[in-house]
Every structure is written in C-alpha cells, then in structure tokens.
C-alpha cells in the first residue's frame, strides 16, 4: 500500500498540451502512471501523447473516470484551474504551479477546504508512490519502492533525502511534496496523519523550512498520537536572515514566529530525530530504523 496515489490512480493533466504539461506527462507515462487524458480549453477532441484532450475538467472526468489531476497552468490561471478541478469533485488535485498570488489562494482554499477534493500544493514537486504512480516533476530514477514516507515543503531537498535513502537501500512508500507557499492544501500535519495511518509506512522523514508554525503543529500531533513510527526531520533556513524571503513565498520569518530554532526544538520535544544538516537524513533514518528493528 501507499497513500494518495497508487496503481488505481487515473490521472488527467491540466495544461496538458503546454511545454511543462507535455514534458511531465511523458515522464509520468514512462514511469507507468495511468495518465488517462488531459485538459486544454479549446483543444478538446484532439489526441496528445496518444491520450484524449478535453475542453473542461468536467468533460474529462465524465469520459475517463479520472480520480486525480495535476495542474501545470501558469500562475494567473492556476487558481481557476484548482477551482475547476474541485468543482468536478476530483479526489486528488496536485498543483505544481509556482507563483500564485496569495489572495487568490486564500479565496480558493476557503472555497474548497470543506469539499471532497484533497489539494496538494501549490508550488510543490508532487506526489510519488515509487513503483506505482508518479504525479509531478520529481526525477523518477532516484526513488525505490519501500516503506519510508517522506514529507517536505521543498522539492530538491526532498530529492536529497530520497537519494540518500535509496543509496542506503531504503525504499519509500510515498513521498509527498506539500509545497512552499504560505497557503497550501495539505500541510505537514495532514500528510503526517496519512503516513502514520498507512500500514505499509514504517518510518517518516519530515522536512520543513522557516516560516509559519506548521512543523511545530505536526510535531505536537505526532507526540499526542502515541505512534511509535520513527521520524527523522530537518529544518532548512537555520542561517537565513530575518524578514527576507528565501525563494519560497512562505519562507519568511516575521517577528518571533517561524524561526528554525523554534521548529527544531518543537520536533525534538516530540522525540523526532532532528538532523543539523540534510546530509545526515539517510544515515539518521537508517540508525532509527535499526534501533526499532525495522531494518537489519
């Protein structure tokens, strides 16, 4: 098993015929993801990558039975794309787009948060259950099927952790890139809940960064859950100056909230092994799993 995506995932691509959509849909197909079609308004009826193109998400769902969508639509139109997907009641919406205005996302989130769709992102690398299904922009070949879940706000830092795990022969159940924006659909706690409840996930890597207090909340949830699944964590931005935006719109320390040191302390208090540098993520996970008898 795994969470969010697997062999039963039927994926459509919004922004299917664009450059990004085409490239990553091709990669997903090569990985074995069941891409059942895509949406580009005005190009309905055509075939692209040998899959049907639809004018609307509603049409695509009706015709293909899609239960997941990935959004590669430029920032000015991405909020609309998320709302369109949600209005078609798609179970999983993965929004890769970076640069959506925060107030657009505030409106989108208020509209869809109590609905049936789960949103991953925006501004995220996507979700992969290695060996089963890949949705997003992560390089496929660094992954290996296995039993460690990965949660991260950052794309390349996720790859860093995954690369280290795979090099040590430790596979992954599902890797969830939750996104670097201030408003995201699935936060650390939501992703953690899924992986803690997954019988095929033995241990979890949780990577955060400065800004907000989502990592603190997830650490608190873990402590209160009573779960014995080992968690290894890392917080990026320990040396970031205050008040500056470090690439991700969400990574800004304002006042006393959002500091790396606060997050690390909260995670340690919850018995999460906190790495000082990302170079130790794989080895730390290996030793935690050995201690727990999950690895020889």
Whole-angstrom distance, CA of residue 218 vs CA of residue 192? 7
| Distance from the Cα of residue 216 to its chain's centroid | 18
In the region spanning residues 228 to 247, those forming contacts with other proteins, defined by CB under 8 A, are: 234, 236-241, 243-244, 246-247
Q: Does 71 bind other proteins (CB under 8 A)?
A: no
Q: Which stretch binds other proteins (CB under 8 A): 9-17, 52-60, 149-157, 196-204?
A: 149-157
Q: Does 18 bind other proteins (CB under 8 A)?
A: no
> Is residue 24 among the annotated active site residues?
no
The minimum distance between CB 277 and other proteins, in angstroms, equals 4
The minimum distance between CB 243 and other proteins, in angstroms, equals 7
Q: Listing from the earlier edge strand, what are the strands of the sheet with 51-54? A: 47-48, 51-54, 35-39, 11-14, 68-71, 92-95, 118-120
Closer by beta carbon to other proteins, 61 or else 240: 240
Binding other proteins (rule: CB under 8 A), the pick from 18, 163, 171, 262 is 163
Q: Does 142 bind other proteins (CB under 8 A)?
A: yes
Binding other proteins (rule: CB under 8 A), the pick from 159, 204, 215, 233 is 159
**Three-state SS sequence of 204-247:** EEEEEECCCCHHHHHHHHHHHHCCCCCEEEEEECCCCCCCCCCC
List of residues contacting other proteins (CB under 8 A): 75-76, 99-107, 109-110, 113, 125, 137-139, 141-142, 152-160, 163, 180, 182-183, 207, 209-214, 217, 234, 236-241, 243-244, 246-251, 254-256, 276-280
> Which residues are part of the catalytic machinery?
248
């Amino acid at each position: 098993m795994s969470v969010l995506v697997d062999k039963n995932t039927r994926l459509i691509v919004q922004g299917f015929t664009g450059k990004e959509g085409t490239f990553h849909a091709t990669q997903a197909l090569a990985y074995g993801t069941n891409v059942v079609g895509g949406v580009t308004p005005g190009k309905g009826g055509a075939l692209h990558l040998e899959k049907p193109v639809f004018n609307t998400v509603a049409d695509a769902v009706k015709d293909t039975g899609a239960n997941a969508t990935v959004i590669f639509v430029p920032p000015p139109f991405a909020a609309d794309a998320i709302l369109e997907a949600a209005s078609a009641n798609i179970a999983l919406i993965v929004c890769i787009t970076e640069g959506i205005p925060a107030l657009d996302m505030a409106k989108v989130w208020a509209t869809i948060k109590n609905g049936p769709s789960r949103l991953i992102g925006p501004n995220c690398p996507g979700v992969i259950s290695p060996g089963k299904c890949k949705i997003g922009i992560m390089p496929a070949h660094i992954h290996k099927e296995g039993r460690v879940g990965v949660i991260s706000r950052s794309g390349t830092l996720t790859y860093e952790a995954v690369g280290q795990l795979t090099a040590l022969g430790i596979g992954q159940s599902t890797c969830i890139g939750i996104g670097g924006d201030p408003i995201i659909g699935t936060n650390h706690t939501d992703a953690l809940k899924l992986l803690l409840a997954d019988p095929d996930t033995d241990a979890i890597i949780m990577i955060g960064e400065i800004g907000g207090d989502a990592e603190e909340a997830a650490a608190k949830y873990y402590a209160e859950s009573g779960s014995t699944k080992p968690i290894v964590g890392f917080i990026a931005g320990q040396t970031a100056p205050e008040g500056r935006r470090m690439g991700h719109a969400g990574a800004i320390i304002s006042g006393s909230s959002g500091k790396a040191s606060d997050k690390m302390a909260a995670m340690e208090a919850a018995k999460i092994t906190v790495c000082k540098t990302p170079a130790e993520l794989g080895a730390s996970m290996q030793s935690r799993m050995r201690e727990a008898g999950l690895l020889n």
